Chains A and B, each alone.
Chain A
Amino acid sequence: MLLGIDVGGTSTDGVLICDGCLEKSVKKQHRGDLTESILKVLDELLEGREAVKVQRLVISTTLVTNLLATRNGARTALILIPGRGLPFSFYRIAPDTYFLKGSIDFRGNITEETPQEDILAAIEDIKTKGIRHIAVAAKFSHRNRSLEQEVARAIRERCPEAMVTLGSETADRLNFPRRAATAYYSAMTAPQWNEFASCVEEAVRQRGLAAPVEILKADGGTMPLEVSRQRPLETAYSGPAASTMGAVALSPRRENAVMIDIGGTTSDIALLIEGEPLHASRGACIDGCFTHINALALRSMALGGDSALQAREGRLEISAKRLGPAACFGGPAPTVTDAFNCYHSLALGDAARSQAALAGLAASLHMAPQELAAAVVEQVLSRLQALIEGMFREWENEPAYKVWEIVHRRKFKLERLIGIGGAAEMIVPQLAKRMGVPFTVHRLSPVANALGAAVARPTLSLHLYADTQQKRFVIDQEGIEGTIPNPATFQLADAEALALEQLARLAEEKGAGCYAKESRVELAEQFNMIRGWSRVGKIFQVRVQIAPGLIKEFKGVGA
């Protein structure tokens, strides 16, 4: 038995999958707090079943997303060591920010130490303010974490009760402001996430579940509940990831597809490249700050089945607002649904009411009702198509830094639309016809989100930076660093092997060992370092990952 629970905007959804069949699904409107709704759904799913037979439980929750939106995290101090570069006034991330001297360069050389007395002064001030959560981030700390570690050591000594989050442990890749924001928001959301994690652990134990509990991340993969305590921020924005992985589960071909989730008033779009969801190149944006959180690339538009139709200055307008359900379902005004209902004779609800509502609006626009319906359908389809094609273009024009990549610009070749959400069945077939591609709107698409959570597999990635002149490598997760034993003969293949080996080890630790052999190299760069006219070393950068996908246990659900 596989369980998936997804906390959405208005309801919490759950599914129970057994032997490739959806055995049960549950939808509960939110009441009380999040943890309570999750446990209610869990109990309903388990009703009349043996909890011990559950193989896996995955939860996708909005806890961290909500904390960030309402700014309700713990008060957190941010200690920054920016060194030379942009003015410090550019780092407006946290109200309680402390700037320390100290500087690291791009190769991880310390070019200026952080004076001990400055560290202590900052810690004293943080203590007096009563702040107990501290994030520390230095520029280039992913190449050398010693300045951050020195601050952490001092905090542990002087203020042992404080919780410390380091930039070098929360974020890989270049980009100091994103690293600082990631560390800050991680520190800020950690206490409440930990409370939640403990609560779930306890509840699962009480119910006799022996299965591992996993949390869905923004990148469409999962991580063990225990690991999430170190990386709470990755649980934010998992909602779209759940829906997208649901789309993957319902159309598990390795195609270039568009997932289109059309709800009451919004449409979300994600791209699948050969069946794998595309990640945003910039990382999630929180409160105007970009972070290193790996989230899916998503485009949204305020347009859905319940979007109201209006006349505005004598012209048709599809409003961003919802006035109620569609007229055919007893709503007060004509909606997008009513227009499709009439134009394509879908016989939804009371079709006569769709006709009547449209006729009223058509009269005020001096149009025939059928003409109005056609105009609405055309506008909806063309806006969705433009949104989708805009996303293709963005992907095709992603920054490229090699001649080969510019000369051979990639092109998105769409093979399928996968529709989910309430209004997908009505709109996606027409959109697919217009764009000349096949489509899937699976009968289980209403529970695609919880299904996606249930069957998403773990993801894991790491970035290796190796410098043979300095004879060292760093892996910018988990604080792993080491020496290169054979710098003179170390080649790109060795760097890739080293990165994959480290990934396999981490995967084993994180309960994703069985996916380690599916890990692959995402980026492999090597540069000869020439000084004078001879080579003094090489720099390698390798990123490896276990990409989002479906768990082995899932063999698909029938059509």
Chain B
Amino acid sequence: MKPTGLLFFPAFDWAISPTHPEREERLLYTRDQIFEEGIMDLPQIREYQPRLASASDIARIHFCVPSIERLATEAHLVSAGGALVIGDAFMKGEIKNGFAIIRPPGHHAMTVAHGNRGFCNINNEAIMIEYLRRKYGLHRIAIVDTDVHHGDGTQEIFYHDPDVLFISFHQDGRTLYPGSGFVEELGWPPAWGTTINIPLAPYTTDEGILYAVDSLILPLLEEFQPELVINSAGQDNHYSDPLANMNFSAGGYAELNRRIAPHIAVLEGGYSVETALPYINLALIMAMAGIDSSNLREPDYERRAFRESPDNMERLKRIATLQLENFRRREEMQADLKKKHGDFFSTYRRIYYDTDNISENQEIRLRLCDRCCSYRVIDSAAAHAMGESYRVLCFSISLYSCPDCQQEAREAYRHSLERFLGHYDFIYLQDRAADEYLCFDCSGFEERGIGGRMPGEGED
């Protein structure tokens, strides 16, 4: 039996600020618990060490404004690199599944990244997914975001991509940051129905969440048939978490992972550093390694005696029915919507960066193609906290775009360099199909490549 890969990177020398929830102490007690248990000595476990993600790994997902260097500190590169190491270990068949216990987290970071949103600068899972797709030729991937906060960054990054099924359950956006993740958010026309949100009422318990798993998440995974299942493993649904209001337990997290059986889990949020994280992390490791976790409970769990309300169970049943229906008619809806919109679909959005106090306005244009997932053009303007403001134009070509779409996008990029220089600070080209990432600095009148290309499959 192959072992479970474990990459533990607590970043003991990194914090957003000394008293911020994302601080050095966050994984201290988790470290104590998993090392006291002797987890790393078990034959069921293989420990991995992180590396630094490269500039091209990040540029494959993000348009970092003004630059990758300004947005992704060494801590972010190591954290994302940790996810890449576990992804490689899984794809190379060294492990049966893997868990990257890494920080800083990433699931609120979107395609265009002007700063920190919800404690996230760059999106670790998305970076890993696009890296694995590039390196190992994967197509269909499912992400189950189990953080209490809606994984709006990951949702946005794959909102146009029908090959990535994004499922998120979270505390209802009307009661918690980031205020999104409603059932109506189903994806842009070419990917309608491959984003599935499950907003949960505050105080939902193990019973409620596991019901959502059984009645909705498992059928979705079964029907989508992904090549890779990823758990975007936040731990803030816990009953003791200071930032949210749910009643999920460590045992519930273990059971959830046993049922979903993700190939890779990547730590996201979770800020009950002393009373929840040590137990949830251990529970998750044990569940992934196939170790019986019935002897693992929070010290105060029995006293809590949580009960799910019948009303909430009814509500969950309605959501499950609705979302299964939506998912099952996705292909039909996608075809209708594409027909309706013609060659381009476009939309406007406002994005707020809570941590860095940045407001961004975006216009997104999505090229619709019958043969491929084509390309996106994002026009983004944001006033940063320090008074600088940036406007950037971003061209993003999908990995599996058809040659016509790829060429059209590259021409559009070149064309914009000739005509719109005066409007923008930077114009970017993200050509995933060619694994080429360019940034044109409009004030310095200079184009530069970001990172080097990745060696093909089999090379390393």
Chain A residues close to B by CB (< 8 Å): 84-88, 90, 103, 105-107, 111-112, 139-140, 174-178, 282, 290, 397, 399-404, 406-407, 525, 527-530, 532-535, 539
Determine whether the beta carbon of B78 is less than 8 Å from that of A103. Answer: no
Contact status of A397 and B25, CB under 8 A, knowing A84-B299, A86-B286, A106-B36: no
Given A84-B299, A528-B25, A530-B25, A290 contacting B11 (CB threshold 8 A): no
The distance from the CB of B315 to the nearest CB of chain A, in whole angstroms, is 32
Question: Which listed residue (B12, B23, B278, B286) contacts A525, Cβ 8 A?
Answer: B12
Say yes or no: B294 contacts A407, CB within 8 Å.
Answer: no
Contact of A407 with B19 at beta-carbon distance under 8 Å, contacts A84-B296, A175-B38, A528-B24 already known? no
Which of A84, A397, A404 is in CB contact (< 8 Å) with B13?
A404
Q: Mark B1-36, 1 if CB is under 8 A from A, else 0.
A: 000000011111110001100011100110111011
B410 within 8 A of A: no
| One of B32, B74, B78, B286 near A106 (C-beta < 8 A) | B32
Distance in angstroms between the alpha carbons of A525 and B24 in the assembled complex = 11
| Beyond A290-B38, A399-B40, A403-B75, 19 extra complex contacts between A and B, CB < 8 Å | A85-B282, A87-B291, A87-B294, A106-B32, A177-B37, A282-B41, A399-B8, A400-B49, A401-B10, A402-B11, A406-B9, A407-B52, A527-B12, A527-B24, A528-B23, A528-B24, A530-B19, A532-B242, A533-B19
Tell yes or no: B51 within 8 A of A by CB.
yes
When C-beta atoms are compared, the residue in chain A nearest to B44 turns out to be A90
State in angstroms the CA–CA spacing of A530 and B19 once bound together: 6
CA distance A13 to B78 in the complex (A): 51
In angstroms, Cα B40 to Cα A282, docked, is 10
- For A106, the chain B residues whose CB sits under 8 A away are 29, 32-33, 36, 278
Query: Among A140, A176, A404, A406, which residue has its beta carbon within 8 angstroms of that of B51?
Result: A406
Query: Cβ of B47 < 8 Å from any Cβ of A?
Result: yes
B24 touches A84 (CB 8 A): no
Take A401-B10, A528-B18 as given contacts and tell me if A111 and B299 are in contact as well, using a CB distance cutoff of 8 Å: yes
- List chain A residues, Cβ under 8 A from B78: 403, 406-407
Query: Which residue of chain A has its CB nearest to the CB of B294?
Result: A87
Would you give the shortest CB distance from A132 to chain B, in whole angstroms? 28
B189 in the interface (beta carbon within 8 A): no
Is B36 a contact of A290 with CB atoms below 8 Å? no
B interface, how many residues as a size bin? Answer: 35 or more
Q: A residues within 8 A CB of B446?
A: none
Q: Which of A175, A397, A399, A530 has the most CB atoms of chain B within a 10 A radius of its CB? A: A530
Closest 5 A/B residue pairs (Cβ): A106-B32, A111-B299, A174-B35, A177-B38, A402-B13
Q: How far is the CB of A404 from chain B (nearest CB, A)?
A: 6
Q: Which residues of B contact A530 (CB under 8 A)?
A: 18-19, 23, 25
- Please tell me if the beta carbons of B35 and A177 are within 8 angstroms of each other in the complex: no
Contact in complex: B295, A88 (CB < 8 Å): yes
Q: Identify the closest chain A residue to B18 (Cβ).
A: A528
- Could you give 17 example pairs across A and B, Cβ below 8 Å? A84-B299, A86-B38, A90-B291, A106-B32, A106-B33, A140-B32, A177-B38, A399-B8, A401-B12, A402-B11, A406-B49, A406-B74, A406-B78, A528-B25, A529-B25, A530-B23, A535-B19
Residues of the A chain whose Cβ atoms lie less than 8 Å from the Cβ of B35: 174-175
Is B50 a contact partner of A406 (Cβ separation < 8 A)?
yes
Closest B-chain residue to A105, C-beta based?
A: B299
Measured CA separation A406–B50 after assembly (Å): 7
Cβ–Cβ < 8 Å partners of B295 in chain A: 84-88
Is B297 an interface position by the 8 A CB rule? yes
A106 to B33, CA, bound (A): 6
Q: Which residues from chain B contact A112 at a C-beta distance below 8 Å?
A: 299
In the complex with contacts A85-B37, A86-B291, A530-B25, A397-B297 CB distance below 8 A: no
Q: In the complex, what residue of chain B is closest to A407 when comparing beta carbons?
A: B74
Please, which residues of chain B bring their CB within 8 A of the CB of A103?
Answer: 299
Q: Which residues of A contact B52 (CB under 8 A)?
A: 406-407
| Chain A residues, Cβ within 8 Å of B292 | 87
Q: Which of B9, B41, B291 contacts A290 (CB 8 A)?
A: B41
**Which residues of the other chain, B, contact A527 by a CB distance below 8 angstroms?**
12, 24-25, 28
The answer to whether A140 touches B36, judged by C-beta atoms less than 8 angstroms apart, is: yes
Given A87-B291, A401-B12, A530-B19, A178 and B38 touching (CB < 8 A)?
yes
Least CB separation from A103: chain B residue:
B299
- A402 and B12: CB pair below 8 A? yes
Taking CB atoms, residues of chain B closer than 8 Å to A140 are 32, 36
Contact residues in A for B50 (Cβ distance below 8 Å) = 406
Q: Per-position contact with A for B280-318: 1 when CB-CB < 8 Å, else 0?
A: 001000100001101111010000000000000000000
What residue in chain A is nearest B29 (Cβ atoms)?
A106
Given the complex of chains A and B, what is the CA–CA distance between A86 and B296 in angstroms? 7
From B25, B278, B294, residue with most partner A Cβ within 10 Å:
B25
**Chain B 72-93 near chain A by CB (<8 Å), digits 1 or 0:** 0011001001000000000000
Residues of B close to A177: CB separation below 8 A = 37-38, 41
| A contact residues around B25 at 8 Å (CB) | 527-530, 539
Across the interface, B49 reaches (CB within 8 A) one of A86, A105, A174, A397, namely A397
CA distance A406 to B75 in the complex (A): 9
Name the one of A90, A174, A402 contacting B32, with C-beta atoms under 8 angstroms.
A174
Chain A residue contacts of B14, Cβ below 8 A: 403
The answer for the CA separation of A3 and B74 in the assembled complex, in Å, is 53
Contact partners of B33 in chain A: CB under 8 A: 85, 106
CB proximity of A100 to chain B, nearest CB, Å: 14
Q: Which residue of B lies closest to A104 (CB)?
A: B36
Question: In the complex the two chains form, is B36's CB within 8 Å of A139's CB?
Answer: yes
Query: In whole angstroms, what is the CA distance A407 to B81 when docked?
Result: 11
In the bound complex, what is the Cα–Cα distance between A88 and B292 (angstroms)? 10
Which of the residues B11, B18, B51 comes within 8 Å of A403, measured between beta carbons?
A: B11
Which residue, B25, B37, B47, B296, has most C-beta atoms of chain A within 10 A? B37
Report how far A139 CA is from B28 CA in the complex, Å: 17
CA A388 to CA B175, docked complex, whole Å:
59
Q: In the complex the two chains form, is A85's CB within 8 Å of B296's CB?
A: yes
With A and B bound together, what is the CA distance between A265 and B445 in angstroms? Answer: 68
Chain B residues within an 8 Å CB radius of A525: 12
CB distance from A201 to the nearest CB of B (A): 37
Min C-beta distance of B103 to chain A, whole Å: 10
Chain A, residue nearest B34 (CB): A174
- Report A530 CB to chain B, min CB distance, Å: 5
> Are B297 and A84 within 8 A (Cβ)?
yes
Knowing A87-B292, A106-B29, A407-B78 are in contact, say whether A176-B49 is a contact too (CB < 8 A). Answer: no
Using CB atoms, name the residue of chain B closest to A530. Answer: B19
Find chain A residues with CB under 8 A from B297 CB: 84
Residues of B within 8 A of A90 (CB): 42, 291
Which residues does chain A contribute within 8 Å of B274, judged by CB atoms? 107
Cβ contact within 8 Å between A401 and B299: no
Contacts of B40 in A (CB 8 A): 399
- Give bound CA distance, A107 to B291, whole Å: 25
Chain A contacts for B10, CB-based, 8 A: 401
Chain A nearest CB: distance from B248 CB in Å? 18
CB distance from A204 to the nearest CB of B (A): 40
Tell me the bound Cα distance from A401 to B35 in angstroms: 13
Distance between Cα atoms of A451 and B41 in the complex (Å): 35
Tell me which residues from 255 to 281 in chain B have a Cβ below 8 Å from any Cβ of chain A. 274, 278-279
Q: Given the complex, which residues of B lie within 8 Å of A105, measured CB to CB?
A: 299
Q: B217 to nearest A CB, angstroms?
A: 27
A403 near B28 with CB under 8 A, answer: no
**CB of B40 to closest CB in A, whole Å:** 8
Chain A residue contacts of B42, Cβ below 8 A? 90
Complex: A86 Cα to B289 Cα, angstroms: 12
Residues of B within 8 A of A528 (CB): 18-19, 23-25
Give the shortest distance, in Å, between A349 (CB) and chain B (any CB).
47
Beta-carbon nearest neighbor of B9 in chain A: A401
A401 touches B38 (CB 8 A): no
Task: Give chain B interface residues in 371-387, CB to chain A under 8 Å.
Answer: none
CB-nearest residue of chain B to A110: B299
A106, A112, A175: most-surrounded residue (chain B CB, <10 A):
A106
**B393 smallest CB distance to A (angstroms):** 33
- A524 → B minimal CB distance (Å): 12
B88 vs chain A, min Cβ distance (A): 15
